[in-house]
Amino acid sequence: MTSVVALILAGGYATRLRPLSYTRPKPLLKIVDKPILDYIIDSVLKVNPDLIILSLRYLADKIIDHVRKTWNKISDKIIFMIESKPLGDAGPIARAVREYGISESSILVVNSDIYSNIDFTSVIESHRRSGSIATLVLTRLRGDLSRFGVASIDDDLRVTHFVEKPQRPPSEGLVNAGVYVFEPEISKYLPHDVARPLKISTYLLPKLIEERTLHAYIHEGYWLDVGTPEDYIKANRIALEQMCRDESCIKGDVLGGVTPPSYISATAQVGRNSMIGPYTVILDECKIGSGVRIKNSIVLDKTIIEEYTYITGSIIGENAYIGRWVRIEDNCIVGDYTYIESEVYIARGVKIGPHREITDSIRRENEVLP
């Protein structure tokens, strides 16, 4: 295989994941025991890229710090490309080609918010067989497709039509999986200096479709765009089913019961008579008291949950403190460093921002405390 440069797009604000994304960039959200970004880098390394370029903007310093600590053995392959202003997802392609002299390598472009088992080697091989300038990875979804780009293809796997976020979406279709391969000639479709944010889906793809040079690769495995809290929980459910079907993921000091699939970090503690799981993730240095019930939930690092608290279908941020006899209903998010006093009730769908002190119950569903 000829050379490849990987461009990972990791500069977005992740507004739909607030309040979790107030204090961390989305690529650093953990799925089971490691950040989304690390799964992507693991997959990218399988194509043996000459370079891995990380396009960053929002909370870039946190991503840089994580990558330098975690991926120091391949530091000679990694470049941080900081956006001084938002470039969209097409702008970084033009900038990377121009600044790093990419003239012969295929460019693998990956959104940093997807959790999937896309085989990048297979994608690149399919792209090169097609002889096209560009390849778009598609995956088949059912349900509400209104927040995705939906494509049509012909018998030769050429993309013939593409609509970003259709107002009247089909109930099933091929959607943009957030992975592309481009040849360096793609730069002729992009401005030399990017003055405004440019989107691949609305700026670049229509030009390629018009010239019949956009190849499709159909991904048949699992795929999730981790764009909402519900998606984040779903991604962890998929990962737990793959990795934690038995008790091998129960690693901490656990005195209570655990129902698989669940993950408990080696540095976490769970008190007597507590019941954890199924589909629950307890991360590093968490302390769970006695008689606690947690299911279908994610508890991020260094959080304390006191005795007899009940949590279902929710995400609890890192360094949070949850008092005794608290009840947190489905679809809630508790931000980082938030304090919830004992005997407080949190209604379904409530979102609490970071660094909040909650001393009274929140009984209105879907209330937001930023």
- Residues 296-327 have pLDDT tens digits of 999 999 999 999 999 999 999 999 999 999 99
Q: Are 169 and 145 in contact (CB under 8 A)?
A: yes
Q: Are 180 and 150 in contact (CB under 8 A)?
A: no
Q: Residue 354 pLDDT more than 80?
A: yes
Between 197 and 176, the higher pLDDT residue: 176
- Mean per-residue pLDDT, 52-73: 94
Note the pTM of the prediction, 2 decimals: 0.91
Q: In what order do the strands lie in the sheet with 269-270?
A: 253-254, 269-270, 287-288, 304-305, 321-322, 339-340, 357-358
Q: Enumerate residues 6+ apart whose C-beta is below 8 A from 348.
A: 329, 330, 331, 332, 365, 366
> Quick one: pLDDT at residue 187?
85
Superfamily assignment of 245-369 in CATH? Hexapeptide repeat proteins (2.160.10.10)
Q: Residue 1 pLDDT more than 60?
A: no
Three-class DSSP category at 13: coil
Between CA 151 and CA 118 the distance in angstroms is: 18
Q: Residue 195 pLDDT more than 80?
A: no
> Quick one: pLDDT at residue 338?
98
Between CA 314 and CA 262 the distance in angstroms is: 14
363 residue type, one letter: R
Q: Are 74 and 42 in contact (CB under 8 A)?
A: no
Between CA 12 and CA 259 the distance in angstroms is: 36
> Quick one: pLDDT at residue 151?
92
> Quick one: pLDDT at residue 11?
87
What is the bridge-based pairing of β-strands 114-116 and 106-111?
A: unpaired
Per-residue pLDDT band for 153 (boundaries 50, 70, 90) equals: very high
Please name the fold of domain 4-230. Spore Coat Polysaccharide Biosynthesis Protein SpsA; Chain A (3.90.550)
Q: Residue 115 pLDDT more than 80?
A: yes
What is the bridge-based pairing of β-strands 357-358 and 339-340?
A: parallel
Q: Give the number of other CB atoms < 10 A from CB of residue 160.
A: 13
Domain extents in the chain: 4-230, 245-369
> Quick one: pLDDT at residue 84?
83
55 residue type, one letter: S
Between CA 150 and CA 143 the distance in angstroms is: 12
Burial 168-180 (b: 16+ CB within 10 A, else e): ebeeebbbbbbbb
Question: Max alpha carbon distance in the chain (Å)?
Answer: 65
The two tokens of residue 272 are: 């007597």
Burial 20-57 (b: 16+ CB within 10 A, else e): bbbbbbbbbbbbbbebbbbbbbebbeebebebbbbbbb
